[in-house]
């Protein structure tokens, strides 16, 4: 009899975490490595948020919290949804988890039965299909390639829906591509979903505040109110507020689903860290003036990286609307050889040889379900990005036909 659970046979380790770890190990050995794998802002948590956490400690807010979150944070989440997304979620319709990842996972765990299908546009964040697999569901991948700017079309969504479809998982702006859907593009998708009442909508809005130029963010239940009763809107404080390590995610949704997620969380982790929750109250309710400043810095980095990558031989890099990732194609380099004679047969070969030759760590697109591409996180300094892109240019130029 096997000791480990069969579910583990269905799950792969996170490629993004693996790349970050490999970069750390090479640095520890003295290699000059630039790691562009981690999806984490390089900004520090704003001072007002840190101060709120300090004050919570000094007040003795160090006890267990209610499973779904402290009342003050659930009220702040409810107010945020109303203020920024035109969504009316009462505080009891919200839940706080240990990061957005736990909230997503609990929603799947509360709803998926064996054989239930989850439509996931590809490329996708690496954890989505693994969560579905652990919860006994079946991922249905629908390709959204470079020809549609990595956005799913209404026609492709329509073709993917079956009687077994339970969820449509929607991430805009996207990890890994940075693609963000306009109101019209979201409306085209919701028009399809309205006609399929068995399909629920799970939105991952984690990069909501990181959109560039005059782009306006919208979320599905805001665009199509008739989907409100079968939509869970998921967000968190990690990206826009530079609070990745605080581990606070949250959601608003129908009360019966939130109660089911509360029950699972009660047997799993109980409430999230009390101090982090008080910090999140300040994040959502306090000044937001640093968000536009950070957004402007990210936009400058995006433009730098897109420009330099498009000057690299064989690389094609679209300009994304949001997040802090680019997802360039390396298709033009497939079949070429390194100076040592290694043939680049896939995006895995490309990222492996790039790390070996130039010490630049990026993530292969096949890990996100669509290649030959690679993901770069530009959540680091201009100087490092310039150096990394110069190394990529040098590596691409070194490849022979």
Determine the average pLDDT of the residues in 215-231: 98
Contact 377, 324 (CB under 8 A): yes
Sign of dihedral through CA atoms 289, 291, 294, 296? negative
CA 175 from centroid of its chain's CA atoms? 4
Residue 11's pLDDT is: 84
Burial class (CB in 10 A: 0-12, 13-18, 19+), 124: buried
- pLDDT tens for 13-70 read 777 777 778 788 888 888 899 999 888 999 999 999 999 999 999 999 999 999 999 9
User: Could you give the residue ranges of the DSSP H alpha helices within 86-233?
Assistant: 100-111, 127-134, 154-160, 183-194, 220-223
- Two structure tokens written together for 284: 């959502």
Same domain, 94 and 143: yes
Residue 325's pLDDT is: 98
Task: Give me the CATH number covering residue 23.
Answer: 3.90.1150.10
CA–CA dist 203, 161 (Å, integer): 17
Residue 21's pLDDT is: 81
| Helices and strands counted in the chain (H then E) | 13, 12
Per DSSP, the residues of 155-171 read: HHHHHH--TTEEEEEEE
| Average pLDDT over all residues of the chain | 96
Same domain, 340 and 198: no
- pLDDT tens for 241-262 read 999 999 999 999 999 999 999 9
Same domain, 310 and 358: yes
Same domain, 272 and 298: no
Q: 274 falls in which pLDDT band (50, 70, 90)?
A: very high
Residue 15's pLDDT is: 74
Contact 16, 38 (CB under 8 A): yes
How many domains does one find in the chain? 2
Residue carrying structure tokens 């919701």: 190
Contact 260, 133 (CB under 8 A): no
pTM here is 0.95
Q: Within a domain: residue 13?
A: yes
Determine the average pLDDT of the residues in 334-342: 95
Hey, is 119 helix, strand or coil? Answer: strand
Q: Within a domain: residue 212?
A: yes
269 pLDDT higher than 80? yes
Same domain, 12 and 94: no
Residue 26's pLDDT is: 82
Which of 254, 285, 316 is a domain's end point?
285
Q: 10 falls in which pLDDT band (50, 70, 90)?
A: confident
Same domain, 112 and 240: yes
- Phi, psi at 374, each rounded to 5°: -150, 150
9 pLDDT higher than 90? no
Which of 285, 301, 321 is a domain's end point?
285
CA–CA dist 5, 8 (Å, integer): 6
Residue 196's pLDDT is: 98
Same domain, 330 and 372: yes
Q: Within a domain: residue 211?
A: yes
Q: Which domain holds residue 199?
A: 62-285
Same domain, 240 and 325: no
Residue 130's pLDDT is: 95
- pLDDT tens for 131-176 read 999 999 999 999 999 999 999 999 999 999 999 999 999 999 999 9
Which of 245, 265, 285 is a domain's end point?
285
Same domain, 296 and 177: no
Contact 185, 144 (CB under 8 A): no
Burial class (CB in 10 A: 0-12, 13-18, 19+), 29: exposed
Q: Within a domain: residue 57?
A: no
Q: Within a domain: residue 56?
A: no
Same domain, 249 and 307: no
Task: Give me the CATH number covering residue 115.
Answer: 3.40.640.10
Hey, is 60 helix, strand or coil? Answer: coil
Same domain, 102 and 146: yes
């Amino acid at each position: 009899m096997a000791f480990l659970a069969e579910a583990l046979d269905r799950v792969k380790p996170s490629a993004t975490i693996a790349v970050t770890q490999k970069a750390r190990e090479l640095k520890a050995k003295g290699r000059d490595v630039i790691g562009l794998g981690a999806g984490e802002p390089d900004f520090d948590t704003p001072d007002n948020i840190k101060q709120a956490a300090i004050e919570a400690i000094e007040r003795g807010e160090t006890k267990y919290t209610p499973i779904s979150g402290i009342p003050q944070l659930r009220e702040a989440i409810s107010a945020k949804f109303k203020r920024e997304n035109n969504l009316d979620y009462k505080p009891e319709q919200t839940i706080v988890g240990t990061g957005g990842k736990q909230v997503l996972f609990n929603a799947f765990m509360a709803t998926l039965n064996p054989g239930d299908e989850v439509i996931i546009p590809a490329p996708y964040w690496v954890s989505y299909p693994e969560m579905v697999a652990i919860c006994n569901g079946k991922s249905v991948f629908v390709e959204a390639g470079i020809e549609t700017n990595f956005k799913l079309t209404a026609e492709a969504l329509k073709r993917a829906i079956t009687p077994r479809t339970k969820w449509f998982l929607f991430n805009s702006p996207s990890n890994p591509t940075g693609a963000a859907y306009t109101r019209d593009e979201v409306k085209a998708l919701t028009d399809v979903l309205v006609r399929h009442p068995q399909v629920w909508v799970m939105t991952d809005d984690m990069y909501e505040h990181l959109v560039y130029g005059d782009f306006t963010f919208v979320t599905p239940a805001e665009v199509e109110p008739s989907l409100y009763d079968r939509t869970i809107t998921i967000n968190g404080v990690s990206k826009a507020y530079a609070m990745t390590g605080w581990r606070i995610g949250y959601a608003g949704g129908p009360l019966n689903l939130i109660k089911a997620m509360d029950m699972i969380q009660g047997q799993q982790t109980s409430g999230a860290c009390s101090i982090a929750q008080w910090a999140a109250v300040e994040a959502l309710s306090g000044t937001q003036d640093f968000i536009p400043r950070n957004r402007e810095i990210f936009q400058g980095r995006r433009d730098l990286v897109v420009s330099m990558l498009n000057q690299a031989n064989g690389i094609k890099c679209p300009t994304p609307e949001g997040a802090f990732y680019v997802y360039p194609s390396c298709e033009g380099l497939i079949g070429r050889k390194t100076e040592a004679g290694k043939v680049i047969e896939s995006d895995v070969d490309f990222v492996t040889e790039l790390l070996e030759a130039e010490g630049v760590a990026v993530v292969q697109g096949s890990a996100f379900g669509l290649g030959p591409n690679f993901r770069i996180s530009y959540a680091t300094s201009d100087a490092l990005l310039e150096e990394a892109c110069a190394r990529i240019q040098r590596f691409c130029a070194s490849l022979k036909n």
